[in-house]
Structure 1
Amino acid sequence: MVFDDFPFWLRFAHFINIVFIILLIRSGVEILSALPKLYWNDHARPGTEWIKFTKKKFTPNFKKRTWISLEEEESFSSWIALPGHKNLGIGRHWHFLSIIFWISNGAAYYILLFTSGEWQRLIPTSWSILPEAINDVMLYASFQFNLPGNPYDSIQQLTYFSVVFLLGPFMIATGAAMSPSIDARFPRYPKIFGGRQAARSLHFLGMIGFVLFIIVHVAMVILSNFSENMGNIFLGQATSFGIAVGIFALFVLVVVAVNVWATGISLKNPRLVQRKLGAIIDPIRQTLFNKVVSRQQFSKSDVTPFFRVNGYPPDTKEYENLMRNGFSDWRLKVLGLVEKPLELSLVDLYALKKEIQITEHSCIQGWTAIGEWGGVSMNHLLSKCKPLPQANYVVLYSYQFTDGDQFYEAIPIELAKHPQTILAYEMNGDLLDIPHGAPLRLRVETQLGYKMVKWIKSIELVDDYKNIGMGQGGHREDHMYYDLGAGI
C-alpha cells in the first residue's frame, strides 16, 4: 500500500498525544517525589530500594521518636515536576486528568487506525523486517538517516510499533496495578508484575522509555528531512524549510505554554485546580471504583516486618490522659443521622464479633506494607446504630490535630458497609500501638491510607460533608488537595 500523506485525524492525535504525554510525565515525577525510592518487593523496607532520588537517610527508631513516611518526601523543582514543591494532591489530579484524555485519544487513534488501513504503516507484515532493521542500524551508526521506506524505514516502523502497541498498553497495565481498588478486588493482578512495588518500578522504567523515545524522535525529525517531516505531520504535505521552522517553533511554544499555565495555576490557586479537575475525574472514578469490594487475604508469612507510619500521634492533654490509663476511659461515640446513638468502650468493642483480615496497605506516597488487622466490622456497628435513610456519609474524627484543625475523613456509607471495612483495635495479633492508631483505627481496604483514620475519637453519620472542615471531605483533601475518593 502506498501512502501519500498523513490523514488529519492522525496528525491531530499525534499533537494531542505529545501534550498529554508531557503532562503525564511531569505529574508522574511529582508523584514520585512523595516517595523518591523504588522497590521490587511490596514490603518496601527502608534500605532495600534499588534506586532513590534523595540524599535523605530514613532510619526510623521509634524508641527515640516517631518517624513518619512524610519525612522521606522531597521537593522537586517545577521545571521537571507538575506542579512541584511537595504538591502530591495536585500532581495526582493532573496525572489522572491526563490519563483520561491520553487513553481516550489513544482509543480513538486505535479505532481509526484499524478502520482506515493506516495500521499498515506501523504493524510489520513480514519477518524480513528484522534483517532489514539490522542493516538500517549499521546505516544509522554511520550517520545516514534518510533511509528508504513507505513511509518509514524498518527501524522507525519497529520503534513506532513498539511504542504504540507495547509501551503504551504496558504503562496502562502497570498503572492499574498500583490502584488500591483494583488490587483489592483482583489481588492476583499485581502479582503478574511481581507486586505493587514492582509495578511501580516498571511504570517508572516505562516513563524513562517514553522520555528517551521523545528525545530520539524529535532529534530524528530534525536530522532527517526536517522540512518534509514537519510539513507532513502538521500540514499533510511537504513544505519549505522556513515554514517548517515556524511550525516547529509554534509546536514547542504551545507545549511549553500549556505546561507553564498548568504549573502556574496549580501553585497560585490549588483549590480551583482541585475543584475543576475533580469535577472531571470524580464521576469517572465513582463509575469505575465505587462498587469495588476487597477480596484480599494474605497469609501470616506475608506480613511486613517493618510497617511504616504516617502522621504524628496526637499531643493533646485529652489523648495523653487516655493513653496513660491504657484507654480504659476511652469511649467511641457514634452519632448523627442514626436512630440509636452509641457510646462504646474498648471492652464493648471486644465483646462484638471480631473480624480478622490480612491485607496490603497502600499509602498515597507510594509505599506498601502487609499487616494483619483485627477489629469490628463497620457494617456490624452500623446495624446497631441504625442509620437514617438520609445518611449518605460516615465521618470519622481523630484525636489528632494537624495545621490546627482536627483530622477527619468522610467515606460514602456504601463503602463503610463493605465486608473488609473494619474498625481495627489489633495489628499483627497485638493491640494497636500508638504510632499505628491506638486505640482504634479505620481499615477500608479499597482506598489509599490517608482515608484510614487513626486515633479515632468519634463517628458521625451525615447527609453531606460540605459543612465539615473546608468542605472537601477530609483533612488531607482540605489542606493538601487530595481526592475525596482514594480508590484510583
Structure 2
Amino acid sequence: MPDARPRRRRVLVVAAAAALLALAAAVLLARWWRDTTTGAAFLTDYPGTVAPPPGTPEGFPAWLSWTHYLNAFFLLFIVSSGLHIRSRTRPIAFVTRRNRGLLRTARAPQRLGIHTWWHLAVVALWVVTGLVYLVLLLASGHWARLLPTEWAVVPNAVSAGVQYLSLDWPAHDSWRSYNSLQVLFYSATVFVAAPLALLTGLRLSPVWPRGWMRATGLLGDVTARRTHAWVLWYYLAFTVVHVGLVLLTGMRENLNGMYAGVEDSESWLGFAVFAASTIVIAVAWVLLRPPAQASIAERVADVRRLPAPPA
C-alpha cells in the first residue's frame, strides 16, 4: 500500500498557504473598510465593548487563575491523547478496571488502550475543575463578565473583530470587562464547546449505557465522532489565537492580571509566573508519556503491557 503521508503533507502545506492568503486578504479588507465613512461610523457607534451590569466584580481572583491554569494543563493531555486515539496508533498497554469495591458493576469492565484510559482519566479531572470553576463563577458574580447580557454585544463583537483584523487592537481593559468578541468566544467555549465535548465524549466512551447506543441520529456514532473531533479542533484553534492575542495585546498587563492577580502593565511578575507554570507543563509533558501513564494506571487497574514492536 502506498504511503499516504507525503500526500497529507502536501495537503497541509496547501491548506496552510491558503489560510495565510485568506488571512492577509481579510487584514487588507478590514483596514480598507475601517477607513471608509461607513466603517468609521460603525466603529464609532460600536467601539467593541459593552459595559457589564453595575456591581459586576473586577479583576482576576485566585480561584480564576488556578482553574484557568489547571484547565490548560489538563487540556494539553486531553488533546494529545485524543489525537493519539484518532491516529489509531498501537498502544503500548491495555488497561482493565478492577471490578470490585465502589466501582463494581454488573457488566464486565471493558479493556481500554492506554491512550483511551489516560484520556478518560484526565477528562475526569478536567470536569471536576470545570465544576469548581462554574460554582465559583456563579457564586462570585463574575459570570456577568463572561455572559452577554444585551444584544448590543453582537455589533460590538463585529467591531472588535474588524479592529483585530485590521491590526489596530480594540480598547483593552480586561481587568474590568472583556471586549464583546471575547465575551462571545469565552462564553461559547465554557457553555457550548465544553458541554459538547463532554456529552459527545461520554457517548463515545465505555460508560455510555448500551441501551442508548444508536448508529444514527443526534447522538449516533457518526454524529458524536464528528462533533467531538470538531470541538477538539476548535479548542486547538481557540488556544492558539487566545495565547497569541494575550501576548500581542499588552502581554505584561494581561499576564499580571491572570497569573499574579494585579492590575499592572509594568511589572514582570505575571510573566515570571506564566513562564514558571509553562515550564511545569513542559516537564509534565515530558514525564507523563505513555510508559508513565501505564505505571499510574497500574495503581488503580490491571495493566497488560505489550512488547515493543521489532525494530
TM-score after normalising by structure 2: 0.68
Structure 2 letter corresponding to 1:143: L
The equivalent position to 2:166 in structure 1, one of 142, 162, 184, is 142
Post-superposition Cα deviations, 1:249-277, rounded to whole Å, max 9, x if no partner, equal: 212211111111101xx33x56523213x
Matched residues, number:
233
Shift of 1:218: 0.4
Change (3 A) 1:480 1:178: farther
Which residue of structure 1 aligns with residue 297 of structure 2?
274
Q: How does 1:356-371 map to 2 (within 5 A)?
A: none
The equivalent position to 2:246 in structure 1, one of 185, 210, 221, is 221
Change (3 A) 1:190 1:172: farther
Q: How does 1:82-481 map to 2 (within 5 A)?
A: 89-148=113-172, 150-187=176-213, 191-193=217-219, 195-239=220-264, 240-263=266-289, 266-267=290-291, 271-276=294-299, 279=300, 472=302, 477-480=303-306
CA contact (8 A) 2:160 2:180 kept: yes
Shift of 1:180: 4.4
Which of structures 1 and 2 has the larger relative contact order (alpha carbons within 8 angstroms, sep 6+)?
A: 2
Shift of 1:184: 1.0
CA RMSD across the alignment: 2.5
Post-superposition Cα deviations, 1:228-264, rounded to whole Å, max 9, x if no partner, equal: 110111111134353343233212211111111101x
TM-score after normalising by structure 1: 0.45
Shift of 1:480: 4.4
CA contact (8 A) 1:230 1:238 kept: no
Greater share of helix: 2
CA contact (8 A) 2:246 2:254 kept: yes
Change (3 A) 1:255 1:271: closer
Structure 2 letter corresponding to 1:200: R
CA distance in 1, matches of 2:258, 2:293: 36
CA contact (8 A) 1:13 1:105 kept: yes
Structure 1 letter corresponding to 2:239: I
Q: What is the DSSP-based 3-state SS (H/G/I as helix, E as strand, rest coil) of the residue aligned with 2:304?
A: helix
Q: What is the DSSP-based 3-state SS (H/G/I as helix, E as strand, rest coil) of the residue aligned with 2:178?
A: coil
CA distance in 1, matches of 2:123, 2:63: 20
Shift of 1:185: 2.7
Q: What is the DSSP-based 3-state SS (H/G/I as helix, E as strand, rest coil) of the residue aligned with 1:478?
A: strand
Structure 2 letter corresponding to 1:138: V
Which residue of structure 1 aligns with residue 5 of structure 2?
none
Greater share of strand: 1
Q: What is the DSSP-based 3-state SS (H/G/I as helix, E as strand, rest coil) of the residue aligned with 1:192?
A: coil
CA contact (8 A) 1:89 1:480 kept: no
Identity across aligned pairs (percent)?
27
CA distance in 1, matches of 2:153, 2:233: 26
Post-superposition Cα deviations, 1:60-88, rounded to whole Å, max 9, x if no partner, equal: xxxxxxxxxxxxxx46xxxxxxxx87987
Post-superposition Cα deviations, 1:355-405, rounded to whole Å, max 9, x if no partner, equal: xxxxxxxxxxxxxxxxxxxxxxxxxxxxxxxxxxxxxxxxxxxxxxxxxxx
Structure 2 letter corresponding to 1:10: L
Change (3 A) 1:3 1:93: same
Task: Could you tell me which runs of 5 or more consecutive residues in structure 1 were left unpaired when the two chains were aligned.
Answer: 35-73, 76-83, 283-471, 482-488
Structure 2 letter corresponding to 1:123: L
Flag the structure with larger Rg. Answer: 1
